[in-house]
Amino acid sequence: MTANPVSTMGSAVGIDGYRGGWISARLDDARITWSTATVPDIGSLLASDIVAGVDMPIGLLDIGERECDALARKALPGAASRVFTTPPRAVLELGPGAPNAEAQDLCRRLTGKGVSRQALNLAPRILALDEHLARNPDHLVAEVHPEISFAELTGRVLTSKKTTAGVGQRIAALESWLPATADALAGVPSGVPIDDALDAMAALWSAVRLRDGQARTLPTQALQAPRIVI
């Protein structure tokens, strides 16, 4: 399914989490502007006139597993481990400090499976975004997955972003879309790892596609969250 165009004009932003909070890459007239925010302040990077792609789950279930997570793993043959399963809301609300046994037991009762430490550690970010969207339903924010965005952009699954080769592949992929990528990366705020900045730009790529009606979704028939926009 190709998403309907939101607008062929206006700003788009890609947002990724990093150890200090959030990093965003905003595109205005072929120019990238970088911003950061703390985890609770995700709303400072969003607005009703911006189409945003965020590398974080949107659309939480009370029970069961999200179909888009399973489809995302299938979209990355040989690299399915790069996609974590989003647990139900009640598990996330336990938070990263919850006793492991309690979190595992609750998740198994709700999904039949345990929960990863990565998912629990991301709980504050997932819930902060969820709360912001509940308060601001006019904000157009789509869930994206940079690994899938890069695979769509290049036609293949790239080498791990934690390697020099993987970083180079991602820069080359983005330059094929935005020739000023190298200049943009020179302006990344201090303290933000290069792989997180690249993920924010991949999220931006998908946000622009959504804005212009070129994006597709996982699952293809989904009009609302939970879905991943590519």
Task: Give residue-wise pLDDT tens across range 178-225.
Answer: 999 999 999 999 999 999 999 999 999 999 999 999 999 999 999 899
3-state secondary structure of 38: coil
Token output for 210: 């959504």
The reported pLDDT for the residue numbered 29 is: 86
The reported pLDDT for the residue numbered 7 is: 46
The reported pLDDT for the residue numbered 28 is: 92
More confident residue, 1 or 98: 98
Q: Radius of gyration over alpha carbons of the chain, in Å?
A: 17
CA distance 160 to 147: 9
152-176 pLDDT tens trace: 999 999 999 999 999 999 999 999 9
Half-sphere exposure of 217 (CA within 13 A, CB side): 20
* First-last CA distance in the chain: 10
The structural domains of the chain, ordered by start, are 11-61+137-229 (3.30.420)
Sign, CA dihedral 91-95-100-101, equals negative
Cis peptide before 226 (omega within 30 of 0): yes
CA distance 186 to 2: 33
- How much of the chain, in percent, has pLDDT values that exceed 70? 96
- How much of the chain, in percent, has pLDDT values that exceed 90? 94
Residues 6+ apart with CB under 8 A from 143: 53, 54, 55, 56, 57, 58, 59, 68, 225, 226, 227, 228, 229
Report which of 52, 28, 33 is spatially closest to residue 184, judged by C-alpha positions. 33
Q: Lowest-confidence range among 2-11, 57-66, 93-102? A: 2-11
Check pLDDT > 70 for residue 37: yes
Q: DSSP secondary-structure letter at 160?
A: P
Residues 6+ apart with CB under 8 A from 26: 11, 12, 13, 32, 33, 34, 35, 50, 204
